């Protein structure tokens, strides 16, 4: 499997953990206990760093998928920023602001992903998810709705493609 499988797995785990948190599952802070969002933040930071490391790996390959490196960088930067914001307890609206270009600009990778309807559809799913993040951080979409969206994103956009590759098939 190509290194993109690592990006799919770790970023899916971060999306899943954030989704559960926004659904309120495991998000209650016990009196005097640690804030569960910090754990979510660390997984988000690790996912972002793995994404960025993968992007650098793509760039380092002589005949590597350099254009793919740019796409992965969008998500890597986003998840690092999200994770740091969650760990430190910063204002999530700035992450919502960052989510807007992360939603829109990757749509320009449409032609790069030509021939694989699933990856093209994932660009649309990601656009919806990142715009939902912005809406949630500004109080326009309920956190639980975002949680459902993120669980769907983790499953469809990240884990389904890697399972298809693990079974020895090309992503359709």
Residue 172 lies in a domain: no
Q: What is the pTM of this model?
A: 0.94
Query: Which stretches in the chain have pLDDT values below 70?
Result: 1-2
Residue 56 lies in a domain: yes
Per the prediction, the chain carries an average pLDDT of 95
* pLDDT at res. 63: 82
* pLDDT at res. 65: 84
Residue 80 lies in a domain: yes
One-letter-per-residue 3-state SS of the chain: CCCHHHHHHHHHHHHHHHHHHHHCCCCCCCCCCCCHHHHHHHHHHHHHHHHHHHHHHHHHCCCCCHHHHHHHHHHHHHHHHHHHHHHHCCCCHHHHHHHHHHHHHHHHHCCCCCCCHHHHHHHHHHHHHHHHHHHHHCCCCCHHHHHHHHHHHHHHHHHHHHHHHHCCCCCC
Looking up residue 32, the CATH number of its domain turns out to be 1.25.40.600
Residue 60 lies in a domain: yes
* pLDDT at res. 2: 58
Domain with 35, as residue range(s), is 4-166
Residue 171 lies in a domain: no
* pLDDT at res. 1: 45
Residue 54 lies in a domain: yes
* Count of the separate structural domains present in the chain: 1
């Amino acid at each position: 499997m190509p290194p993109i499988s690592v990006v799919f797995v770790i970023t899916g785990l971060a999306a899943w953990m954030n989704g559960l948190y926004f659904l309120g599952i495991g998000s209650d802070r016990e009196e005097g206990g640690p804030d569960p969002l910090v754990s979510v933040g660390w997984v988000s930071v690790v996912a972002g760093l793995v994404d960025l490391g993968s992007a650098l790996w793509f760039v380092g390959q002589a005949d590597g998928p350099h254009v793919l490196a740019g796409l992965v960088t969008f998500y890597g930067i986003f998840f690092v920023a999200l994770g740091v914001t969650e760990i430190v307890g910063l204002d999530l609206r700035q992450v919502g602001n960052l989510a807007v270009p992360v939603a829109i600009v990757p749509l320009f990778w449409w032609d790069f992903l030509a021939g694989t309807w699933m990856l093209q559809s994932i660009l649309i799913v990601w656009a919806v998810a990142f715009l939902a993040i912005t809406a949630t951080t500004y109080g326009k979409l309920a956190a639980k709705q975002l949680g459902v969206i993120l669980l769907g994103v983790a499953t469809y956009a990240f884990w389904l493609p890697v399972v298809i590759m693990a079974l020895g098939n090309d992503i359709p």
